[in-house]
C-alpha cells in the first residue's frame, strides 16, 4: 500500500537476468534482499504479480520463502527475494 500511495510498485522479477541485476544493484547499497510484488492474496498458494495479476513463473526467492509467517495473517501473502 505504501508503494502504491507513492505511485510505485514492488519489483516483479520474471527471469534470472532481472534477478541478478536487481540483487547486484541492491548489494551496492548493502541491501541483502527486497520484497517482491508477488502475493497469493486472491488464491492461497497461487502467486501472482500485484501490478499485473499475471502468474509468477520465475521463483528465486529468499531461503525459506514463502514461509507462512506473516504478522497480520496466518498465511504468507508476500514474498522476499
Closest CA to 65 of 41, 43, 47, 42: 47
Residue 77 or 4, more confident? 4
Most distant CA pair in the chain: distance in Å? 36
C-alpha to C-alpha distance for 10 and 51, rounded to whole angstroms: 8
Q: What is the pLDDT of residue 28?
A: 93
Q: What is the pLDDT of residue 7?
A: 79
The per-residue pLDDT for range 27-71, each reduced to its tens digit, is 999 987 777 888 888 887 788 888 788 898 888 877 777 766 555
- What is the dihedral angle through the alpha carbons of 19, 20, 24, 27, rounded to the nearest 10 degrees? 60
Say if residue 17's pLDDT is above 90: yes
DSSP secondary structure code for residue 41 in this structure: S
Q: Whole-prediction pTM value?
A: 0.65
Amino acid at each position: 500500500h505504501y508503494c502504491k500511495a507513492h505511485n510505485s510498485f514492488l519489483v516483479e522479477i520474471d527471469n534470472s537476468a532481472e534477478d541478478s541485476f536487481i540483487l547486484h544493484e541492491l548489494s551496492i547499497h548493502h541491501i541483502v534482499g527486497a520484497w517482491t510484488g508477488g502475493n497469493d492474496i486472491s488464491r492461497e498458494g497461487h502467486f501472482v504479480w500485484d501490478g499485473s495479476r499475471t502468474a509468477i513463473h520465475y521463483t528465486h526467492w529468499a531461503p525459506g520463502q514463502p514461509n507462512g509467517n506473516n504478522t497480520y495473517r496466518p498465511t504468507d501473502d508476500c514474498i522476499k527475494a
